[in-house]
Each structure stands twice: as C-alpha cells, then as structure tokens.
C-alpha cells in the first residue's frame, strides 16, 4: 500500500523469449511456469512485455508461447531485451521497477539485467521463472552473477512449482 502522499512504484513484468523454437529440451517446464505466473499475477503489474527473439530460422513465424490480455509483444534481434521499443513502453508507462524472467539466463536475462540497471531501473529477477537452454549450471552461474550485481535480496524465489507434463 502506498504511503500517504506517495504513489506506489510502477512495476513491469518483462518475460523474454519463451517460444517454441527454444524449447524441446530441459526448458519445456518454463512455458508452464511463466504462463501460470502471468495468469495469477499479471494484474499486479502496470505493464507486461513479452519478447520474441526473431532469428534466421523463425523469421515471419509467431513462435511465442505466452499470452496475457495486458501484454505487449516486442520482437527483438539482440540478446538484450531493452530494445528502443521496450524502452519506449517502459518510459510511457513511467515504470521504475522491472521484474525479469524467461529464457536464457546466461545470455538474454543477464544482458537485459545489465541494460536495465545501467538505464536506472530497479531490477528484480524472478529466479524460478528463468531458464537456460544450455545447462542448469549456466542458469545457476547467471543467478550468482545477478545476485552479486543486484544484491541477493533482488533475486526472488517466486513462481516455481511442480510441473506435470
């Protein structure tokens, strides 16, 4: 609840690249967890952005797996999700804090975390909603780096649960 005379900090949820062309291995669980989180907590955010990494093999195809009524979908071609279009959405909504989740922890999540932090946003990582295409060890290493940079209190252990597939 906001203090009298002070508005609550505006928050965005940014989920990167949960798309079918990145799944099919150890990451299959991430779609279910992220969609469940969106369904249960999407209303808590002032802005939801879902990124779709467009690369040579999926150009012209919609391989994004997540959806939410409030979500803005942004295509990107770089590791960092802080594209000019994403930056514009964040600025227009007057976002101060970004909760970050998605694929891949050791590349996209890490690059986006650095870009957001360098741009002055307060960043929190939704640890159990992040995954790594390469190995679980890569995810753990990325979380360790992000904890060092952001402070371990900003690596939130939320969103995870048993997934039955």
Average pLDDT, the chain: 87
Whether 81 maps to a domain, the answer reads yes
Task: Tell me the backbone φ, ψ of residue 21, rounded to 5 degrees.
Answer: -75, -5
**pLDDT tens figures, 21-35:** 767 666 678 888 999
Q: For residues 128 and 99, is the Cβ–Cβ distance under 8 A? A: no
**% pLDDT > 90, the chain:** 59
Whether 4 maps to a domain, the answer reads no
Integer angstrom CA distances of residue 110 from 47, 105, 131? 21, 6, 11
Q: Tell me the pLDDT band of 136, cut-offs 50, 70 and 90.
A: low
Average pLDDT over residues 112-117: 98
Within 10 angstroms of residue 26's Cβ, the number of other Cβ atoms is 14
Whether 96 maps to a domain, the answer reads yes
Whether 63 maps to a domain, the answer reads yes
Highest mean pLDDT among 48-57, 87-96, 133-142: 87-96
Whether 2 maps to a domain, the answer reads no
pLDDT at 7 over 60: yes
Distance CA 165, CA 32 (A): 9
Q: 50-63 burial, b for 16+ CB within 10 Å, e for fewer?
A: bbbbbeeebeeeeb
Task: Give the per-residue pLDDT at 164.
Answer: 44
**pLDDT tens figures, 41-91:** 999 999 999 999 887 776 777 778 899 999 999 999 999 999 999 999 999
Whether 72 maps to a domain, the answer reads yes
- Identify the CA nearest to 72 among candidates 83, 60, 61, 80: 83
Say if residue 73 is preceded by a cis peptide, omega within 30 of 0.
no
Query: Between residues 124 and 2, which one has the greater pLDDT?
Result: 124
Radius of gyration of the chain (CA): 15
Task: Give the per-residue pLDDT at 18.
Answer: 87
Burial of 72 (0-12, 13-18, 19+ CB in 10 A): middle
Task: Give the per-residue pLDDT at 163.
Answer: 46
Task: Give the per-residue pLDDT at 95.
Answer: 98
Kindly tell me the number of DSSP H helices and DSSP E strands found in the chain: 4, 6
Distance CA 139, CA 62 (A): 26
Q: How many domains does the chain have?
A: 1
Task: Give the per-residue pLDDT at 104.
Answer: 85
CATH code, 143: 3.40.50.850
Whether 42 maps to a domain, the answer reads yes
Whether 1 maps to a domain, the answer reads no
The 3-state DSSP class for residue 6 equals: coil
Give the structural domain span for 26: 11-156
């Amino acid at each position: 609840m906001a203090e009298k005379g002070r508005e609550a900090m505006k928050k965005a949820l940014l989920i990167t690249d949960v798309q079918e062309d990145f799944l099919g291995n150890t990451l299959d669980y991430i779609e279910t967890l992220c969609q469940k989180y969106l369904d249960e907590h999407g209303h808590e955010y002032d802005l939801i952005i879902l990124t779709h990494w467009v690369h040579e093999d999926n150009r012209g195809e919609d391989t994004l797996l997540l959806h939410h009524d409030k979500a803005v979908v942004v295509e990107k071609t770089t590791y960092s999700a802080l594209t000019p279009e994403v930056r514009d959405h964040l600025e227009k909504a007057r976002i101060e804090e970004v909760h970050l989740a998605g694929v891949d922890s050791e590349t996209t999540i890490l690059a986006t975390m650095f870009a957001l932090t360098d741009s002055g946003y307060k960043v929190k990582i939704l640890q159990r909603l992040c995954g790594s295409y390469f190995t679980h060890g890569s995810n753990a290493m990325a979380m360790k780096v992000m904890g060092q940079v952001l402070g371990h209190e900003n690596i939130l252990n939320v969103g995870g649960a048993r997934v039955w597939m």
